[in-house]
Amino acid sequence: MKNLCAFVIILLGPSFLALSQNSVCLEFSSPPTGPGLNVFTKYINVFGCGIIAEEGVPDEKVKHAASIFAELLDNDENGIVDDLVLLNELQNNQALVPIFTADGSPGMNFFFNNYDGEGVGAVLWQQEIDPSQPGYWGADASVEEIMHTINSVGHVNVYPDAFSLEPNSSLLSEAMDVARGGQFMNVPSSYPENAWYHYDDETCDYQCMAIEYLYWMQVANMDILNDVPTCNGIVNEWEPCSQALLQSMDVLGYTIITNPQFKLPQNAPDGNYCPEESSIDTFDNGTNEIQLIPNPSKEKRVKLISNQNNMIEIALFSFEGKKVYSGLKPNGGTINLSKLNSGIYTYYLSIDSHKRIGKLVLD
């Protein structure tokens, strides 16, 4: 199990309890089983990953966290995960975000003592979730802890040259050393005056500092921190509280998180996730050189069409993010999908340097 405790952050400030259920098109299902997981009674599958919660956690808070998870993975909310390579890593590690009724609850203690997986990078407590203030510092920790999970379980493994947490190991560690005014293995007695990231929790080691740094940059870039009370409240730890300040103060870090290669989310989640199911074949890199026809398919048989004669790689994913078909087919090859249920699937086609991602409807 990963060093989970390093990623659990206690929010400062009051916990606002007013609830407002947003539009969330994700439903509860049976929780997964395994060591430490039998304390949970509530579960929402998010693209093959999930939010799992104890009985006492209100449904609206579980749905809110699930929506945030979905928005961070599908940031343009077209129903298709932005980075399928990242998703595959999260699924392989069975990424989960547990929600407990309180810090130190019996269920939380049982989980920590028995869970032996690699998919949990952070946890949430129900009192630090406020659906009316998604990601707002001091009120709703859902964005922070779910980001920690996606980053530590996914990005660190998929893009180690960019996001490895060890000293001198990545673009992230290089940028953080600049942001802290030097490379510190432990919290210094005081940070240099030119530092803008000066986290002072002595229980947080270098790797913990790096995952926190990645979080601060992402939410600053999303302008979630961009208001006077928040800026004043976090200045002892983090100074660039707006996208403009981040871009000007932290040039190295800003370059990393906005690099399209890594497909990090750029838009702030708002707690609403209900993509248009009628949107078919809308996410494309601009090429029409490979196609999947007919779409919709009433007979559940589709053909791959390309203006090249090379083999075409295809992967098909269910709405929950589970891979239901993969293989290599020649131009003109037919795929029999009659064993699949009717519904909307995400497809990924690749031939040489050309790629196409879209939706396939099986009637």
pLDDT per residue as tens digits for the range 86-113: 988 998 899 999 999 999 999 999 999 9
pLDDT the model gives residue 320? 67
Percent of the chain with pLDDT over 70: 89
How many angstroms separate the Cα of 111 from the Cα of each of 6, 108, 125?
16, 5, 13
- pTM as predicted: 0.78
Q: How far apart are CA 24 and CA 43, in angstroms?
A: 14
| Rounded CA separation 345/323 (Å) | 10
Give dist(CA 210, CA 224) in Å, integer.
20
Give the rounded percent of residues in the chain with a pLDDT score beyond 90: 66
Tokens 């609206």 -> residue: 60
Instruction: Record the tokens describing residue 105, joined without a space.
Output: 């609850």
- Reply yes or no on domain 290-362 having CATH 2.40.50.140: no
Domain coordinates of the chain in residue numbers?
A: 1-138, 159-268, 290-362
Q: How confident is the model at residue 354 (pLDDT cuts 50, 70, 90)?
A: confident
How many whole angstroms separate alpha carbon 262 and alpha carbon 221?
15
- pLDDT tens profile 24-72: 888 899 999 999 999 999 999 998 899 999 999 999 999 999 999 999 9
User: 73 φ, ψ to 5°?
Assistant: -85, -35
